[in-house]
Chain A
Amino acid sequence: MSTLAASNKRSFWSVVWDYITTVDHKKIGVLYLIAGGFFFLLGGLEALAIRWQLVKPMNDFVSAGFYNELITMHGTTMIFLAAMPLIFAFMNAVIPLQIGARDVAFPFLNSLGLWLFVFGGIMLNVGWFTGGAADAGWTAYTPLSTISPGEGMDYYVIGLQISGAGTLMAGINFLVTIINMRAPGMTYMRLPLFTWTSFVASALILFAFPALTVGLFLMMFDRMFDSAFFDPAMGGNSIIWQHLFWIFGHPEVYILILPIFGVFSEVVSTFSRKRLFGYSAMVFATVLIAFLGFMVWAHHMFTVGMGAAANAIFAVATMTIAVPTGIKIFNWLFTMWRGSIQITTPMLYALGFIPTFTIGGMTGVMLAAATADYQYHDSYFVIAHFHYVIIGGTVFGLLAATHYWWPRMFNRMLDERLGKITFWIFFVGFHLTFMIQHFLGLWGMPRRYWVYLPDQGLDLGNAISTAGAFLMAIAVLILLYNIIKTAIKGEPCGDDPWDGRTLEWAVPIPAPHYNFKQVPLVRGLDPLWVEKMDGRKEMTPSEPLDDIHMPNNTVLPFVMTIGFFIAGFGFIYQKYDNALNALIFVGMGIALGAMLVRSLKDDLGYHIPKKELEKEARK
């Protein structure tokens, strides 16, 4: 690890300071990976506690109230603090390299988005220590969430507001980066699929997150300032929350899965040693899924009573999404067809993903049938469905990406043997946990219940499910062991360890902080492969060697985030004592002050002189 090697010479605190102030997309990617990984473990522990409570009928491992906190925080943590940030980790680490850029369009915003996510995540979890975390389910339906006592839901509202703002910034940043920062010759239809799908997911973030922002503001006003949005006694309407939440929430599931489709497209193509089959159909399907993704939010609300016409329209719209998704499944299969397939760890995850995700897709179509949904609604069938798409899709994809891009990020290969063991244990554990939950749901087990009666036909199924969950936990522990082992004992992997096709593998490992000494000229899809087929080992440069312009490090994003963090506590606790309003003013003062400094102080970055670059080349 280049960063580790450097830290041997520098003091610990100077490394910490470097990472707090960094605007380098590669380091920010590492920070997203660490923070997202931490929250993934936390959410996993919550999942284990849930499964342990359900291992036998009428269990008393946790109290009913604590169980509600566990399910709420498990869902919220996994979606907002683990899955999305881990996707951002790889977007940061890979996309600028894939398009031939020296950094993202807004390095400052990139850092701000990271810190807002980190502190939003901490905020959400503060509730554990102040008398109870959020407990109204990750969907936080009103009026349950507005009358939930204590500060747990307040932490949910403020924490998500802060981390959501960070996500929105990251989305805008990647949209502009991919449009404006591409190397010469990198046309839209030559973008690697991971870049394409991340681009589309960023557009989804941009248009979906503001609906959540508004929903959270309304809930914040109802809880903290006694407004009446969701209070029927004052003329309010609690269904508004459901609409706003799902107008955000449904695109959110595509935000989680589209970049993963991109990861698998890269992995399948690389390890079949073939061009991706149906590239343009893949791009078209991605855009179509995103478009349809905004038209189907009310399928989460079939049983609310919207009427037959609305239910029918949303049911049909939902089912149409199966078509572009099917296109993708077949394109991956055809990419492998007659390819020279290497079964590496990332490829194993891709092979496991295709049937698993297809099952999740089929139960999705079953749920989309509005009339049948009255039977499935709020049962374990739904739990099984979305874990099949989120774990079978997103988590498999993240694990594939971890093994695939680990050498790119850390100059070490993860141990392939341990990687394959991880895969098989995780894969078996996953199906053991969730396959049976389809049937538990159909047999009548509702979601979110903390106990069930014995001899209802649910005992064995729940025990099997819990056993599977512990297998998944073992797999994660093996992965952690793998990471620690290769970090200590592993050898540097050198450039291009997978014989890659896309531009990120044309950059030396470890990458210089300016990525490309000379921006490369892209001559086709899979640009590095094009050069390799022409007998070259490196990319053709598109420009003569010259000074390189780079952005300055800055501590302002961190300061701004601290400001919002402090203000958040003010908003939550002002109801007890007016004096606590001071916290709001102090916090917002720090945040707005930092914004003002950013606006007024010139920051033009710096240049790496040509001479220095030549000197490096000679070494």
Chain B
Amino acid sequence: MTEQDIMNPKKMPLQPEKATLEGKNKFLGFWFFLGGEAVLFASLFGTYLALNGSLNGGKSAEEMFGLPLVFIMTMLLLTSSLTSVYAMHHLRNNDFKRLQLWMSITVILGLGFLACEIYEFYHYITDYGFTFRSSAFGSAFYTLVGFHGGHVVFGLAWITALIVRNAKRGLNLYNAPKYYIASLYWHFIDVVWVFIFTVVYLMGVL
């Protein structure tokens, strides 16, 4: 495949993200990477479950966590996952404008989630004195949820960079895999949040 075929394909293939060998490699390699990330979060979950009762005299999960805010956060993130699916639908359709639009909406929803999380942490620290250093529970909570939050920040920066970089040149076989794996990453963040919602918040409160 020549450079011309990659950068300005005459006809877009059905799955542009896997049309080149580089694309195929990225697709498979990224799935493996997510497998490693799954082990990373599993280790953090294990640590959290071992330490979530070690309050060191502080407030417990039941006394602090409020489900309404967490519900809003869950909805924001789940919806952002859905909008990134729409974006991938338009990647397959070769409709670049809508791809960019839905990716932008994904970023906005992700920012909303992040704002809620920052507020949540601020609330725990100022109202309950529940910090990273106050107890083993605090260390485990902020590390698990914070690692997820860090992934959200990285994902938002990544997707924003893609949207800005490619704004003027449209879709081709070189950047299609980049969009695709960014959306894979975003789905993964969403799945991890579903587990955090269940294990940290629901099991913490109920």
Contact = CB atoms under 8 A, between A and B. Distances in A.
B133 A235 contact: no
Interface string B18-36: 0001001100110011011
B133 A213 contact: no
B139 A228 contact: yes
A168 to B, nearest CB: 6
A106 B25 contact: yes
Contacts of B165: 599-600
A607 B5 CA distance: 14
Contacts of B29: 105-106, 172-173, 175-176
A180 B135 contact: no
Interface stretch (B47-55, B73-81, B195-203): B47-55
Contacts of A442: none
Nearest to B178: A599
A236 B136 contact: yes
A180 B30 CA distance: 13
A244 B56 CA distance: 23
A235 B137 contact: yes
B135 A221 contact: no
Interface in B137-180: 137-140, 143, 158, 161-162, 165, 174, 178
Given A221-B139, A599-B165, A235 B36 contact: no
A227 B43 contact: no
Nearest to B39: A210
Task: Name A's interface SS.
Answer: helix
Contact of B139 (A168, A211, A227, A244): A227
Contact of A206 (B35, B44, B47, B140): B35
Interface residues on B, range: 35 or more
Contact of A228 (B6, B33, B133): B133
A212 B132 CA distance: 21
B37 interface: yes
A495 interface: no
- Category for how many chain A residues contact B: 35 or more
A586 B133 CA distance: 26
A602 B6 CA distance: 12
B85 to A, nearest CB: 22
Interface in A196-223: 206-211, 213-215, 217-218, 221-222
Interface string A166-187: 0010001101100111000000
B3 interface: yes
B51 A235 contact: yes
A398 B37 CA distance: 31
A217 B47 CA distance: 12
Contacts of A243: 46
B14 interface: no
Nearest to A600: B165
B171 to A, nearest CB: 14
Given A105-B29, A210-B39, A235 B135 contact: yes
B135 A604 contact: no
Contacts of A234: 54, 56, 135-136, 139
Contacts of B118: none
A206 B40 CA distance: 10
A596 interface: yes
Main secondary structure on B side of the interface with A:
helix
A231 interface: yes
A211 B43 contact: yes
Contacts, number: 120
Interface in B41-87: 43-44, 46-47, 50-51, 54-56
B178 to A, nearest CB: 7
Contacts of A229: 47, 51, 136, 139-140, 143
B161 A237 contact: no
A225 interface: yes
A209 B36 contact: yes
Nearest to B6: A604
A209 B165 CA distance: 33
Contact of A210 (B36, B51, B136): B36
Contacts of A240: 46-47, 50-51
Contact of B47 (A214, A235, A549, A604): A214
A179 B178 CA distance: 20
B40 A235 contact: no
A607 B137 CA distance: 56
A227 B131 CA distance: 9
Best-surrounded residue of A179, A221, A236, A237 (most CB of chain B within 10 A): A236
B54 A214 contact: no
Contact of B36 (A176, A179, A206, A604): A206
A235 B132 contact: no
Nearest to B32: A172
Contacts of B37: 210
A237 B28 contact: no
B21 to A, nearest CB: 7
B79 to A, nearest CB: 26
A155 B105 CA distance: 43
A237 B136 contact: yes
A106 B138 CA distance: 39
29 contacts: A105-B25, A106-B25, A106-B29, A173-B29, A176-B29, A180-B21, A180-B24, A180-B25, A181-B25, A207-B39, A210-B37, A211-B40, A213-B40, A214-B40, A214-B43, A214-B44, A218-B143, A227-B138, A228-B54, A228-B56, A234-B54, A234-B136, A235-B51, A244-B43, A549-B1, A596-B161, A599-B165, A599-B178, A607-B2
Interface of A: 105-106, 168, 172-173, 175-176, 179-181, 206-211, 213-215, 217-218, 221-222, 225-229, 231, 234-237, 240, 243-244, 247, 549, 596, 599-600, 602, 604, 607
